């Protein structure tokens, strides 16, 4: 769903979030979205577009360790400003004149909402929000929790490891190497 810059009135444009937004959340989350709600308003600020509002979702994601499905609830305020690519500086040199490395945001820049100065892809905006909100590490339980012990047991069963905490599998030979220190 694209919105043209010229279609955004001065007071702002309220966006109707429908099935397209839930599908964008699912793509950004990397899992199934069971419930989705929110409000999004676009406003113009010079040549920039601000996307503000609130988004909330409940979805299923697999545990990073054992793969069991977990229910996650994400949500909160949204405040993202998009600048036309032509308005961004070509070089981001620091005070010493050295080029700055590109910022690593943890996901492909192709997945974020890119604003060309003419249209803004709202699917990419919502997908970007979901990617940023997704927990970086998701497990069944906290350490010393019964759910965590069950999760570890499922992980060991999946990995084919023995049910002992000292089993390192293929890493054991690497741990016993005496490598020279750089000190």
**pLDDT by residue for the chain (183 residues), tens digit each?**
888 888 999 899 999 998 999 999 999 888 889 999 999 999 998 888 889 999 999 999 888 888 888 888 999 888 888 887 666 555 555 565 555 544 444 444 444 456 777 888 888 889 888 888 888 888 887 666 666 777 878 777 877 754 445 444 545 555 555 556 665
Helix (H) or strand (E) holding 152: helix 146-159
Q: What is the pLDDT of residue 128?
A: 87
Distance (Å) of CA 22 to CA 28, 41, 70, 88, 107: 10, 17, 18, 30, 20
Strand partners, 58: 35, 73
Strand partners, 4: 119
Strand partners, 57: 36, 74
For 55, the 3-state DSSP assignment is strand
DSSP 8-state class, residue 35: E
Q: What is the pLDDT of residue 175?
A: 52
**Rounded CA separation 42/52 (Å):** 7
pTM confidence score = 0.68
């Amino acid at each position: 769903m694209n919105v043209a810059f010229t279609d955004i009135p001065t007071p702002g444009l309220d966006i109707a979030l429908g099935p397209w937004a839930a599908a964008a959340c699912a793509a950004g989350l990397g899992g199934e979205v069971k419930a989705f709600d929110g409000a999004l308003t676009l406003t113009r600020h010079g040549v920039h577009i601000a996307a503000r509002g609130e988004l909330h979702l409940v979805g299923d994601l697999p545990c990073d360790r054992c793969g069991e499905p977990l229910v996650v609830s994400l949500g909160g305020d949204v405040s993202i400003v998009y600048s036309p690519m032509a308005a961004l500086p070509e070089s981001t040199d620091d005070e010493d004149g050295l080029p700055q490395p590109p910022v690593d945001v943890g996901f492909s820049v192709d997945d974020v909402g890119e604003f060309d100065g003419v249209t803004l892809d709202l699917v990419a905006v919502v997908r970007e929000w979901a990617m940023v909100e997704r927990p970086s590490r998701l497990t069944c339980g906290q350490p010393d929790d019964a759910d965590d012990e069950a999760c570890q047991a499922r992980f060991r069963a999946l990995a084919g490891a023995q049910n002992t905490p000292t089993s390192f599998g293929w890493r054991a030979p690497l741990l016993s190497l005496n490598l020279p220190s750089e000190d």
